[in-house]
Chains A and B, each alone.
Chain A
Amino acid sequence: MGPLIQQGILSPEWDMIFAFIIGISFGFILEQAGFSTARKIVGVFYGYDMTVLRVFLTAVVTASVGLLYFNYLGWIDISLIYINPTFIWSAIIGGVLVGLGMIVGGYCPGTSFAAAAIGKIDGMVFIGGLFIGVFFYGETYDFLFKNLHDAGNLGPVTLYQILGISSGTLEFFFLIFAIFMFWMTIVITKAFSNRQFKY
């Protein structure tokens, strides 16, 4: 049956409508999960609040388990789902930079908008910085970032293809890892929440 647009059940014009609905819901859920607070986001780094990790891990687990079961039941054709191509070097370097930015700024791009939407000034400042960064990147792309941007293109690979195992096997091990992480978050939070650098 799905994906609805790729299978021609819905016309591509619905893309924007879905994007709008999903975007609004995503922002709402971010806000409800408490991600519009910088303290909560940097909490992962300092160890006193692991909500971010737990929420995102829950999202990944739900989506991946759901997709695999939907595929098995024939409700969705997983081979038609768009997979972002992996550019390994820009992914690593960009990932490190985004991580640093999250510790320093207290937000990631999505949550900064959620924060700005409920009137947080730091969220708005963060968005300002985001635009400056985008501008800088765009203006210097040709002579600074182009090589990095195009390097190490692995194409739309998936982890189970690289490892040469079935998607179900990978998902099983991922779930074991996720369960371990969930329990670890409890331990870590307990260990660090008593320390006195909460601010």
Chain B
Amino acid sequence: MDSRNTIKKRYYFITGILFLLGAILLVLPHRDNKKELSPEDLLLAIATQDRFYSPEDIAKLIISGDPSIQLVDVRSSEEFTAFSLPNAINIPLANLLDKDENGEYVWETFLNQDVKTNIIYSNGTVYANQAWMLTKRLNFKNNYVMEGGLNAFFENIMLAKKPLVSAPQKEIDLFNFRKAAAMYFGGGGSVSTVSSDSKPIEGTPVKTKKKEAKSGGGC
């Protein structure tokens, strides 16, 4: 009978502890541990230059119709309507961190996925870099920056300068590519027709698939 009583006592003890644990959980505030990038990692990411895509690379990707890239225009919507690269989507820098009523980032489906490579651009590099830094800080994946922005895109490609005759073959090849690309985008020298016929295109959010179910648990 004695052992029975000690068992009962133990049960009461465990019951008390469980109740206490539950009661504490009841009053503990909700805590969101969504990880942001640590300052050290951010500094490291900023210091390395591997976030940049050169305008030539991007021109090549656009011309080949690569479906795996998504151009993200972070300029204002007026600028975007006036001109944009083909198939770009517009996420003005000021709206980048907009949240919906559930407190989720509105643009997260675009900016945090591993299906498409986002290439952020603005007129120069500054705004694009700022947008990239925000996404990086939020630990969003797959975001890159167009080096030099639209200015460099035009300078390098649309207004490509002919190299000297004595220039190395590599440079001449590059010039030829730029020339051809300029023709694709609407003729060398004229800069107004890059996508004048295409209205700003609404991109479709890339739904990231959850990782495939690992073998289920249970007994």
Binding site for B on A (CB under 8 A): 7, 30, 35, 56, 61, 65, 68-69, 71-72, 74, 76-79, 82, 84-85, 108-111, 156, 166-169, 171-172, 174-176, 178-179, 182-183, 186
B-side binding surface: helix, strand, loop or mixed? loop
B residues contacting the other copy or chain, number (CB 8 A) = 25
Nearest CB to that of B16 among chain A residues? A179
- Whether A179 pairs with B33 at a CB distance below 8 angstroms is no
Given contacts A65-B25, A72-B28, A84-B213, contact A175 B218 (CB under 8 A): no
Chain B residues positioned under 8 Å from A171 (CB to CB) = 22, 25
The smallest C-beta distance from A166 to any residue of chain B, in angstroms, reads 5
Q: Which of these, A7, A35, A76, A166, contacts B30 with CB under 8 Å?
A: A166
Alpha-carbon distance between A168 and B28 when the two chains are bound, in angstroms? 7
Q: What does the 1/0 interface line of B167-207 toward A look like (CB < 8 Å)?
A: 00000000000000000000000000000000000000000
- Whether A84 pairs with B216 at a CB distance below 8 angstroms is yes
Alpha-carbon distance between A108 and B41 when the two chains are bound, in angstroms? 47
Nearest CB to that of B30 among chain A residues? A166
Q: What does the 1/0 interface line of B22-46 toward A look like (CB < 8 Å)?
A: 1101111011111100000000000
The smallest C-beta distance from A179 to any residue of chain B, in angstroms, reads 5
Task: Give the A-B contact count at a CB cut-off of 8 A.
Answer: 73
For this complex, 27 residue pairs linking A to B, each with C-beta atoms less than 8 Å apart, are A65-B22, A65-B25, A69-B21, A72-B31, A74-B31, A77-B33, A77-B34, A78-B33, A79-B32, A79-B33, A82-B211, A84-B213, A108-B218, A110-B218, A110-B219, A156-B210, A166-B30, A168-B30, A169-B25, A169-B26, A172-B22, A172-B23, A175-B19, A175-B22, A179-B18, A179-B19, A182-B14
Alpha-carbon distance between A174 and B22 when the two chains are bound, in angstroms? 8
Alpha-carbon distance between A77 and B19 when the two chains are bound, in angstroms? 25
Q: What does the 1/0 interface line of B118-153 toward A look like (CB < 8 Å)?
A: 000000000000000000000000000000000000
Contacts A65-B21, A82-B210, A166-B30 aside, 16 further interface pairs with beta carbons under 8 A come to A69-B21, A69-B25, A71-B33, A72-B28, A78-B33, A84-B216, A85-B210, A167-B30, A171-B22, A172-B23, A174-B22, A175-B18, A175-B21, A175-B22, A179-B15, A186-B11
Binding site for A on B (CB under 8 A): 11, 14-15, 18-19, 21-23, 25-28, 30-35, 210-211, 213-214, 216, 218-219
Alpha-carbon distance between A154 and B119 when the two chains are bound, in angstroms? 33
Q: Which of these, A76, A84, A156, A175, contacts B33 with CB under 8 Å?
A: A76
Alpha-carbon distance between A111 and B219 when the two chains are bound, in angstroms? 7
- Whether A182 pairs with B15 at a CB distance below 8 angstroms is yes
The smallest C-beta distance from B121 to any residue of chain A, in angstroms, reads 28
Chain B residues positioned under 8 Å from A168 (CB to CB) = 25-28, 30
- Whether A82 pairs with B214 at a CB distance below 8 angstroms is yes
Chain B residues positioned under 8 Å from A111 (CB to CB) = 219
Chain B residues positioned under 8 Å from A30 (CB to CB) = 219
Chain B residues positioned under 8 Å from A72 (CB to CB) = 28, 31
The smallest C-beta distance from A180 to any residue of chain B, in angstroms, reads 10
Alpha-carbon distance between A108 and B18 when the two chains are bound, in angstroms? 28
Alpha-carbon distance between A3 and B1 when the two chains are bound, in angstroms? 47
